[in-house]
Structure 1
Amino acid sequence: PILMNYLPNVVTTSDAGAGVGYTGIRVRGSDATRVNVTINGVPYNDSESHGTFWVNLGDFASSVESLQLQRGVGTSTNGAGAFGASLNILTDSASEKASAEIASSVGSFNTFKNTLKFSTGRLNDNFEISGRLSKISSDGYIDRAESELKSYFLQGSYSDDNTLIKALAFGGFERTYQAWFGIDAETLKNDRTFNPAGIYSDEDGNTRFYDNEVDNYNQDHYQLLWNERIDNNWSTNLALHYTYGRGYFEQYKEDDDFAIYGFEPILINGELIENTDVIRRRWLDNDFYGTTFSLNYKNIKSDIVLGGAFNKYEGDHFGEVIWAQYANDSEIRDRYYDGTGNKSEFNIFAKGTFKLNSKLSLYTDVQLRTIDYKTDGINSDLNPFVINDDFTFFNPKLGLNYILNKQNSLYTSFARANREPNRTDYENGSPKPEQLNDFELGWRLNREKLIINSNAYYMLYNDQLVLTGEIDDVGSPIRANSGTSYRLGVEIDANVKLSNRFSLQSNLAM
Structure 2
Amino acid sequence: MSGIITDARTGAPLPGATVLLDGTPSGATDVAGAFTLPAVPAGLHELRVTFLGYEPLVQRLQGQPTEQRLSARLQAGGVLTAEALVTASRANNRTATAYTNLSREDLAKRNFGQDLPYLLDQTPSVVVTSDAGAGVGYTDIRIRGTSNTGINMTINGVPLNDAESHGSFLVNLPDLASSISSLQVQRGVGTSQNGGAAFGASLNISTLEARPEAYAETQNTFGSFNTWRNNVQFGTGLLGGRFTVDGRLSRISSDGYVKRGASDLKSYYLAAGYQGKNTLLKFITFSGREKTYQSWNGVPEPALTGDRALLQQYIDNGELSPADAERALREGRRYSYYTYDNQTDNYQQNHYQLHLSQGLGEGWNLGAALHLTRGFGYYESYRTGRKLVEYGLPNLVLGDTTIKRSNLVDRKWLDNYFYGGTFALNYQPREGKLQATLGGAWNQFRNDHYGEVIWAQYASSGNTRQRYYFNDARKTDYNAYARATWQVLPRLGVYADMQVRHITYRIDGVEDDQNDVTTRARYTFFNPKAGATLALGEGQQLYASYAVGQREPVRSDFTDRPAGDQSARAEHLQDFEGGYRLTLPTTSALGPVTALRFEANYFYMKYRNQLVATGQLNDVGTALRTNAPRSYRTGLELTAAASASDKLSLSSTLTLSRNRILDFREVTYDADYNPVTAAEGRTTTISYSPSVVSGHTLEGQPLRGLRLALLYKTVSRQYLDNSASEDRRLKPYQVLDFRVRYSIRPEFVKEIELGLLVSNVLNRRYEANGYTYGYPGADGRQQTFNWYFPQATRNFLASVGVKF
TM-score using structure 2 length: 0.61
Are positions 1:464 and 2:610 aligned together? Answer: yes
Match of 1:192 in 2: 333
Are positions 1:327 and 2:459 aligned together? Answer: yes
- Pairwise CA distance, 1:378: 1.0
Q: Secondary structure at the match of 2:349?
A: strand
Q: Secondary structure at the match of 1:475?
A: coil
Q: 1:153 aligns with which of 254, 266, 269?
A: 269
Match of 1:387 in 2: 519
Name which of structure 1's ranges 345-354 and 261-270 shifts more when overlaid on structure 2. Answer: 261-270
Are positions 1:140 and 2:256 aligned together? Answer: yes
Match of 2:50 in 1: none
Alignment RMSD: 1.1
One-letter amino acid matched to 2:415: D
Q: Secondary structure at the match of 2:333?
A: coil
Are positions 1:102 and 2:218 aligned together? Answer: yes
One-letter amino acid matched to 1:435: H
Q: 2:533 aligns with which of 369, 390, 401?
A: 401
Q: Secondary structure at the match of 1:320?
A: strand
- Pairwise CA distance, 1:497: 1.8
Match of 2:370 in 1: 240
- Pairwise CA distance, 1:428: 2.2
Query: For residues 78-477 of structure 1, what are the structure 2 equivalents within 5 Å?
Result: 78-190=194-306, 191-196=332-337, 198=338, 209-299=339-429, 300-429=432-561, 430-448=567-585, 449-477=595-623
**Alignment check: 8 A CA contact 2:289 2:349 kept:** yes
Match of 1:33 in 2: 149
Residue ranges of structure 1 left out of the alignment (5+ in a row) = 199-208
Structure 2: how far apart are the matches of 1:269 and 1:478?
A: 44
Structure 2: how far apart are the matches of 1:478 and 1:27?
A: 19
Structure 2: how far apart are the matches of 1:92 and 1:187?
A: 47
Q: 1:505 aligns with which of 645, 651, 655?
A: 651
- Pairwise CA distance, 1:488: 1.0
**Alignment check: 8 A CA contact 1:26 1:32 kept:** yes
**Alignment check: 8 A CA contact 2:166 2:554 kept:** yes
Instruction: List per-residue Cα deviations over 1:168-196 (Å, max 9, x = no partner).
Output: 11011100001111223222234111111
Structure 1: how far apart are the matches of 2:208 and 2:428?
A: 25
Q: 1:4 aligns with which of 109, 120, 145?
A: 120
Name which of structure 1's ranges 287-296 and 377-386 shifts more when overlaid on structure 2. Answer: 377-386
Match of 1:46 in 2: 162
Name which of structure 1's ranges 114-123 and 81-90 shifts more when overlaid on structure 2. Answer: 114-123
Structure 2: how far apart are the matches of 1:136 and 1:428?
A: 34
Q: Secondary structure at the match of 1:109?
A: helix
Q: Greater relative contact order (Cα 8 A, min sep 6): structure 1 or 2?
A: 2
- Pairwise CA distance, 1:499: 4.2
- Pairwise CA distance, 1:259: 2.5
Match of 1:22 in 2: 138
Match of 1:201 in 2: none
One-letter amino acid matched to 1:278: L
Residue ranges of structure 2 left out of the alignment (5+ in a row) = 1-116, 307-331, 562-566, 586-594, 657-804
Structure 1: how far apart are the matches of 2:598 and 2:219?
A: 36
Structure 1: how far apart are the matches of 2:374 and 2:165?
A: 16
Structure 2: how far apart are the matches of 1:457 and 1:260?
A: 49
Structure 1: how far apart are the matches of 2:440 and 2:303?
A: 50
Structure 2: how far apart are the matches of 1:337 and 1:83?
A: 33
- Which has the higher Rg, Structure 1 or Structure 2? 2
Match of 1:484 in 2: 630
Q: 1:66 aligns with which of 177, 182, 185?
A: 182
- Pairwise CA distance, 1:59: 0.5
Instruction: List per-residue Cα deviations over 1:241-274 (Å, max 9, x = no partner).
Output: 0000000001001111222212221112422111
Match of 2:765 in 1: none
One-letter amino acid matched to 1:457: F
One-letter amino acid matched to 2:149: T
Structure 2: how far apart are the matches of 1:475 and 1:236?
A: 42
Structure 1: how far apart are the matches of 2:482 and 2:172?
A: 33
**Alignment check: 8 A CA contact 1:305 1:351 kept:** yes
Instruction: List per-residue Cα deviations over 1:478-508 (Å, max 9, x = no partner).
Output: 1111101101111101001234421101110
- Pairwise CA distance, 1:407: 3.7
Name which of structure 1's ranges 492-501 and 115-124 shifts more when overlaid on structure 2. Answer: 492-501
Number of residue equivalences? 499
One-letter amino acid matched to 1:62: S
**Alignment check: 8 A CA contact 1:110 1:139 kept:** yes
One-letter amino acid matched to 1:21: G
Name which of structure 1's ranges 97-106 and 487-496 shifts more when overlaid on structure 2. Answer: 97-106
Structure 2: how far apart are the matches of 1:175 and 1:234?
A: 46
Instruction: List per-residue Cα deviations over 1:31-51 (Å, max 9, x = no partner).
Output: 011000000000000000101
Instruction: List per-residue Cα deviations over 1:282-335 (Å, max 9, x = no partner).
Output: 000000000000111123101100000000100000000001111111111121
TM-score using structure 1 length: 0.96
One-letter amino acid matched to 2:533: N
Q: Secondary structure at the match of 1:192?
A: helix
Name which of structure 1's ranges 180-189 and 410-419 shifts more when overlaid on structure 2. Answer: 180-189
- Pairwise CA distance, 1:92: 4.5
**Alignment check: 8 A CA contact 1:281 1:319 kept:** yes
- Pairwise CA distance, 1:95: 2.1
Match of 1:202 in 2: none
One-letter amino acid matched to 1:248: Y
**Alignment check: 8 A CA contact 1:63 1:92 kept:** no
Instruction: List per-residue Cα deviations over 1:343-386 (Å, max 9, x = no partner).
Output: 00110000011101011110100000000101101111112211
Structure 2: how far apart are the matches of 1:238 and 1:128?
A: 19
Q: Secondary structure at the match of 1:55?
A: helix
Q: Secondary structure at the match of 2:181?
A: strand
- Pairwise CA distance, 1:467: 1.3
One-letter amino acid matched to 2:397: L
**Alignment check: 8 A CA contact 1:223 1:239 kept:** yes
One-letter amino acid matched to 2:283: A
Structure 2: how far apart are the matches of 1:242 and 1:386?
A: 26
**Alignment check: 8 A CA contact 1:498 1:504 kept:** no
Structure 2: how far apart are the matches of 1:276 and 1:144?
A: 25
